[in-house]
């Protein structure tokens, strides 16, 4: 096919070989693939000034077997004790396990693994079977000052799994993935933290068969990482799902939690509301394993009524009009859409290309009616809930959009988006195979600062030639939203990537965005945390750390910026 | 009128004399009165087995001038320094001020004041003018180990103002009651904590005139104490308003807060949502002055659209049906009513009597249709928000109630309730004047435990002969509600009252209710806090206390149970 007009890259279509680096960094199902379609391929060549020849050979595929030249530093005595706690069959210290469970899905980790680089691995990987196992491990490791890291579903994008001080990593999704209680009267479910998204959702959808429930339920939490993230991970990193505008962030969905910490085991209260002082439940949300280990969680659940879903999509004449409409919807007090997503002109442009709308009759109508490329913006959404409610939300959304000059373009784009909502990350491997970097950063912002943040970050990214910057607003609140920046460029040098990415973070902070809306902090944002919170508030988090974990064995080495040195801190002026 | 058929007590109808105990404990406006009407008077005689003669003479009216035999314990040096910080005109240490600002509105405080008893007063009362004043005071008092208490609006019902260690009390509503920023784009307002409810609400209602806003707004927070409570008090005690089912509790309404603590001054982040670790904003909510002093607060505001309000009321055949309907409404995902209030049979009975419905045609229709006295239950409510939304909530509520056998009785009772929503507390003085005690306790509960808690507490209260126990559910969530117990009895002995009240708290705890849903903890519930939270979680709150306030000068002496002895703790088995 080479040199022909119809050249199309030879994307990898086979699962990675077991034991390879690629089998660790590849997204999702080993047998799952989603390749850039021909339109996207053509666009990449155009935008990155590449030619077919750049796609003849794949680079650094990571097909080597994982090899680690790093001895286990625990003593034989310690290892034997740890064996005793969970059974020998639930402990491993082969190179592959140590590397696998120390890596999440950041662009940098993927680049490193492609180069066979992996530091910061645990000495031992353990698969606890129960709260009691975790209690034994924490008690012993605290005495022995052995660091403990926790691995949930594996989709972390902030170096949360890096076992920078060695020690043990606990994998929660192997055994601790069970339902502990289903309570239909209170509309709650209690599960172990290692349960993955699809299992959680299926359990709730099938409640009538499983628990003799009168209805079907949903968890209402659907992050892009849904298929490979865990309920516990959602909570300890403060995740938000794609339908959070209606169902709430995990912060809102969690009713109570049970933790094992060096300072003791406790379960927070599960009243629907109390006025009995600062809520320990809140204190633990977002603690990212640095205060203790989540061993069970009670979540609010919702009625599963997909038959009531109302889809809609609009094209707006400008980004300003789109944002105005989104704000009016968020503050309008008629109920919120669940999926609620506005794309800036560049993202709209790419989306229309990928969906095959560019050049069609619809495109001509849009142009004729004044919705010009690189001005026009796409808004897609759903409403959920009770039937009349969902309908009335859609009706009201249509009215508001229309009053801001938008054209209704049916529910089709929303439906189209639904099909790819979890699969887009699969394309990253294809991009990377040919030296193209794709990454994202996101930031919460109040309405009055939205354009400033958008422009500031965007002009930095666009300041680099041949770089795509797509932005969407998602996760809406009456007071603001989240801006999600996707940047794509031909770039395979780790150092260059790291500098570029840090530059974007700097711009986010400089323009008043929050350091993270739903990706957590981990070790990636840690250097900016003191700048973000101020020293007095950082001291509050540190004092809690010191209370729960005086020996600093819980996820030590940077997480949340709790134990980094002054030299490592980054301040933005 | 004595001995005549038409005897009606000589309720006090004149404002208390300045400087008297009565002027301190009297609820609300000195010129404001609401007397029991004739129907209520007749009912009291019947229920408490009293006769007209019991109402001939008022007892312990508290008309004496406040007299305090308690020297100021601060040194002349200290007093002069404190003068310097706020200006001499903003400091007082007369007996009256010291007693006034050390008392809230508990039944016990009122009884004590009627008897001229008041311990636990501050040495000095100060009226800070600004954050800077507060900073100077906190810094100096921390060095000098002088305790600091805070007084907001004065409606505290848990001994939160008791200056048990002496020192100074800061009165926030004198000067620190201003608007700092109004932000229409974000729908937020930033105010000082001493602003009282009516001022806050009026400011928002009049936003077009005051801030050139395009709309009118509301704070959405309307506790019964609305007229005499402060925005800051609402937050630090985790208050809920009568419309919280729609607008949320203060916990939800606060976006960010600024505190002055011995460990430093800080303002929490005001992003609509973040994933940057445990939220210091949450850690401070409900801290009741024991971590630091709230000096400014940014709240979410809502569109003020009273023209959209939809009122409704229903009579149900039984309490079980009423609770079922309330749960279906709360979990139905069509939006929530704002006022949402279900009365148990005894409260319904009293309400129908007071509203003059007993014995009328409506009463006969109710009886004819099977809604029997002491079985039937009243449900009243509003819906708010956008017009079609409010209408559709009402429509759906009607449908659900009707399916549970309820009869729609128009919006009239809801309107009637609106007129008395803030005035009922005025009757307490009349009751007390004739030796009748009225008090309340409230408790959050999940749906699956509601009947157990209701029956358990109710049977304890009814176990005392001639005692009224009225219960309503208010403040609804998908997972449960709040039960509000009102108990009235002929009782003027403090010791008897205290034992009875503690007995009720014990029953609440024993039956799995939360210690407080929206009245806070203060010193009243402090003994049960460790039982409520468990030692491990109490230790978390204590470690925060120790971080913010290592010298224990912030609201010391029991608040939240942070610094009580093991002997003072109460455990329920």
Contact with chain A for residue B229, Cβ under 8 A: no
Q: Are B240 and B328 in contact (CB under 8 A)?
A: no
Report helix, strand or coil for B308: helix
What is d(CA A435, CA A428) in angstroms, rounded to the nearest whole number?
10
Interface test with B, best of A273, A300, A324, A544 (most B CBs within 10 A): A273
Q: Which residues from chain A sit within 8 angstroms of residue B273, using beta carbons?
A: 240, 249, 251, 444, 475, 477, 482, 517-518
What is d(CA B150, CA B357) in angstroms, rounded to the nearest whole number?
45
Q: Model confidence over A14-71: pLDDT tens digits? A: 999 999 999 999 999 999 999 999 989 999 999 999 999 999 999 999 999 999 999 9
Q: Are A471 and A513 in contact (CB under 8 A)?
A: no
CATH-assigned architecture of domain A179-303: 2-Layer Sandwich (3.30)
A457 CA: distance to closest CA in chain B (Å): 17
Contact with chain A for residue B245, Cβ under 8 A: no
β-strands A124-126, A168-171: how paired?
parallel
What's the count of helices (H) and strands (E) in chain B, helices before strands?
22, 18
Using the beta-carbon criterion (under 8 Å), do B333 and A386 form an inter-chain contact?
Answer: yes
Q: Does domain A76-171 have CATH number 3.30.1370.60?
A: no
Burial B179-206 (b: 16+ CB within 10 A, else e): beebbbebbbbbbbbbbbbebbbebbbe
A393 CA: distance to closest CA in chain B (Å): 9
Q: Which residues from chain A sit within 8 angstroms of residue B277, using beta carbons?
A: 238, 286-288, 521, 529, 533, 541, 560
Using the beta-carbon criterion (under 8 Å), do B240 and A386 form an inter-chain contact?
Answer: no
- Number of A to B CB contacts under 8 A, please give it: 283
Which residue, among A385, A376, A467, has the nearest Cα to A413 in the 3D structure?
A376
Task: Give the pair of three-digit tokens for residue A521.
Answer: 């902090």
What is d(CA B24, CA B5) in angstroms, rounded to the nearest whole number?
35
Q: Which parts of chain A sit beneath pLDDT 50? A: 1
Residues with Cβ < 8 Å from A565, sequence gap 6 or more?
Answer: none
Q: Model confidence over B370-391: pLDDT tens digits? A: 999 999 999 999 999 999 999 9
- H or E stretch covering A303: strand A302-303
Using the beta-carbon criterion (under 8 Å), do A188 and B479 form an inter-chain contact?
Answer: yes
For the beta carbon of residue B340, count every other beta carbon within 10 angstroms. Answer: 25
Report helix, strand or coil for A458: helix
> In the CATH scheme, what is the code of domain B180-303?
3.30.465.10
Q: Are A310 and A394 in contact (CB under 8 A)?
A: yes
Contact with chain A for residue B545, Cβ under 8 A: no
What is d(CA A107, CA A498) in angstroms, rounded to the nearest whole number?
9
Interface test with B, best of A184, A272, A383, A395 (most B CBs within 10 A): A272
Give the residue on B whose Cα is nearest the Cα of A300. B479
Contact with chain A for residue B331, Cβ under 8 A: yes
CATH-assigned architecture of domain B306-421: 2-Layer Sandwich (3.30)
Give the pLDDT means over successive 10-residue stretches in chain B (573 positions). 75 96 96 93 94 95 96 96 98 97 96 95 98 98 98 96 98 98 98 98 98 98 96 98 98 98 98 97 98 98 98 97 98 98 97 82 89 96 98 98 96 89 92 96 98 98 97 98 98 94 98 97 97 98 98 98 96 85
Report helix, strand or coil for A292: coil
Which residue, among B60, B132, B124, has the nearest Cα to B95 in the 3D structure?
B124
What is d(CA A451, CA A435) in angstroms, rounded to the nearest whole number?
32
Which residue, among B370, B323, B387, B316, has the nearest Cα to B348 in the 3D structure?
B316
Looking at every residue in chain A, the average pLDDT score rounds to 96
What is d(CA A312, CA A489) in angstroms, rounded to the nearest whole number?
32
Give the residue on B whose Cα is nearest the Cα of A302. B331
A544 CA: distance to closest CA in chain B (Å): 7
- How far does Cα A475 stand from its chain's mean position? 13
Greatest extent of chain A over all pairs of C-alpha atoms, in Å: 77
Q: Are A82 and A400 in contact (CB under 8 A)?
A: no
Which residue, among B247, B197, B241, B206, has the nearest Cα to B223 in the 3D structure?
B241
Which residue, among A256, A384, A241, has the nearest Cα to A311 in the 3D structure?
A384
Ramachandran angles phi, psi of A201, nearest 5°: -65, -40
Which residue, among B209, B211, B208, B189, has the nearest Cα to B200 in the 3D structure?
B189
- H or E stretch covering B299: strand B293-300
For the beta carbon of residue B534, count every other beta carbon within 10 angstroms. Answer: 18
Using the beta-carbon criterion (under 8 Å), do A392 and B389 form an inter-chain contact?
Answer: yes
Task: Give the pair of three-digit tokens for residue B291.
Answer: 């971590």
What is d(CA A536, CA A441) in angstroms, rounded to the nearest whole number?
26
B270 CA: distance to closest CA in chain A (Å): 8
Residues 377-406 on A with a CB inside 8 Å of B are: 384-386, 388-389, 392, 396
B460 CA: distance to closest CA in chain A (Å): 22
Strands (E), B119-253: 124-126, 148-151, 168-171, 179-183, 188-191, 217-218
Ramachandran angles phi, psi of A236, nearest 5°: -70, -15
Using the beta-carbon criterion (under 8 Å), do B541 and A280 form an inter-chain contact?
Answer: yes
Q: What is the pLDDT of residue B1?
A: 47
Using the beta-carbon criterion (under 8 Å), do A285 and B305 form an inter-chain contact?
Answer: no
Which residue, among B10, B182, B25, B51, has the nearest Cα to B112 in the 3D structure?
B25
What is d(CA B125, CA B148) in angstroms, rounded to the nearest whole number?
10
Distance of CA B400 to CAs A367, A507, B311, B322, B323, Å? 49, 52, 15, 10, 12
Residues with Cβ < 8 Å from A399, sequence gap 6 or more?
Answer: none
What is d(CA B564, CA B516) in angstroms, rounded to the nearest whole number?
19
Contact with chain A for residue B497, Cβ under 8 A: no
What is d(CA A45, CA A468) in angstroms, rounded to the nearest whole number?
12
Give the residue on A whose Cα is nearest the Cα of B393. A389
Interface test with A, best of B251, B272, B389, B442 (most A CBs within 10 A): B272
Give the residue on B whose Cα is nearest the Cα of A524. B276
Q: Model confidence over A278-319: pLDDT tens digits? A: 999 999 999 999 999 999 999 999 999 999 999 999 999 999
Which residue, among B320, B325, B251, B340, has the nearest Cα to B518 in the 3D structure?
B251
> Nearest by CB to A266, which of B327, B447, B536?
B536
Q: What is the 3-state secondary structure (H, E, C) of A103-153?
A: CCCCHHHHHHHHCCCCCCCCCEEECCCCHHHHHHHHHHHHHHCCCEEEECC
Query: How many alpha carbons lie under 13 Å from residue B59 in its C-beta half-sphere?
Result: 16
Q: What is the 3-state secondary structure (H, E, C) of A407-440?
A: EECCCHHHHHHHHHCCCHHHHHHHHHHCCEEEEE
**Residue labelled with tokens 């704070």:** B219
Q: What is the pLDDT of residue A1?
A: 47
Task: Give the pair of three-digit tokens for residue A562.
Answer: 């709790």
Tell me the H-state helices in A49-106.
Answer: 76-86, 95-100
Q: Are A296 and A230 in contact (CB under 8 A)?
A: no
State whether the Cα torsion A15-A19-A23-A29 is positive or negative.
Answer: positive
């Amino acid at each position: 096919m080479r040199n022909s007009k119809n050249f199309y890259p030879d994307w990898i279509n086979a699962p990675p070989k077991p034991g390879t680096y690629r089998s660790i960094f590849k997204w999702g199902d080993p047998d799952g693939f989603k390749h850039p379609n021909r339109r996207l391929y053509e666009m990449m060549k155009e935008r990155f000034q590449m030619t077919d020849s750049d796609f003849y050979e794949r680079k650094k595929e990571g097909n080597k077997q994982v090899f680690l030249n790093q001895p286990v530093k625990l003593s034989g005595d310690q290892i034997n004790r740890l064996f005793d706690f969970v059974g020998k069959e639930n402990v491993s210290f082969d190179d592959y396990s140590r590397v696998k469970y120390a890596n999440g899905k950041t662009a940098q980790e993927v680049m490193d693994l492609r180069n066979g680089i992996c530091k910061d691995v645990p000495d031992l990987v353990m698969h606890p079977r129960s709260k009691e196992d975790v209690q034994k491990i924490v008690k012993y490791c605290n005495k022995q000052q052995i660091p403990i890291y926790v691995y949930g579903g594996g989709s972390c994008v902030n170096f949360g799994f890096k076992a920078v001080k060695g020690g043990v990593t606990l994998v929660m999704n192997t055994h601790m993935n069970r339902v502990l209680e289903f309570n239909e009267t209170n509309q709650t479910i209690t599960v172990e933290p290692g349960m993955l998204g699809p299992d959680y959702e299926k359990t709730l959808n099938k409640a009538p068969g499983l628990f003799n429930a009168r209805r079907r339920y949903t968890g209402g939490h659907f992050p892009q990482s849904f298929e490979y993230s865990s309920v516990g991970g959602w909570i300890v990193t403060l995740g938000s799902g794609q339908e959070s505008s209606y169902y709430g962030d995990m912060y809102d969905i969690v009713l109570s939690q049970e933790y094992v910490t060096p300072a003791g085991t406790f379960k927070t209260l599960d009243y629907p509301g109390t006025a009995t002082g600062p809520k320990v439940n809140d204190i633990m949300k977002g603690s990212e394993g640095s205060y203790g280990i989540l061993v069970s969680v009670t979540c609010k659940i919702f009625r599963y009524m997909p038959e009531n879903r109302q889809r809609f999509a609009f094209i707006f004449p400008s980004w300003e009009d789109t944002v105005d409409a989104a704000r009016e919807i968020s503050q309008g007090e008629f109920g919120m859409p669940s999926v609620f997503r506005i794309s800036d002109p560049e993202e709209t442009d790419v989306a229309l290309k990928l969906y095959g709308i560019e050049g069609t009759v619809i495109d001509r109508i849009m142009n004729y009616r004044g919705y010009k490329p690189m001005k026009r913006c796409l808004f897609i959404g759903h409403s959920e809930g009770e039937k009349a409610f969902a309908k009335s939300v859609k009706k009201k959304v249509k009215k508001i959009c229309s009053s801001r000059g938008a054209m209704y373009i049916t529910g089709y784009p929303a439906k189209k988006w639904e099909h790819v909502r979890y699969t887009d990350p699969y394309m990253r491997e294809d991009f990377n195979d040919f030296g193209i970097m794709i990454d994202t950063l996101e930031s919460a912002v109040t309405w009055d600062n939205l354009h400033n943040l958008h422009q500031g970050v965007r002009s930095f990214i666009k300041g680099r030639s041949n770089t795509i910057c797509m932005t969407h607003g998602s996760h809406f609140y009456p007071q603001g939203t989240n801006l999600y920046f996707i940047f794509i460029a031909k770039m395979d040098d780790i150092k260059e990537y790291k500098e570029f990415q840090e530059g974007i973070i700097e711009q986010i902070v400089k323009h008043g965005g929050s350091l993270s809306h739903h990706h957590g902090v981990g070790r990636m944002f840690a250097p900016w945390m003191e700048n973000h919170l101020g020293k007095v508030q950082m001291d509050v988090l540190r004092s809690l750390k010191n209370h729960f974990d005086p020996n600093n064995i819980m996820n030590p080495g940077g997480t949340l910026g709790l134990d980094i040195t002054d030299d490592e801190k980054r301040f933005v002026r």
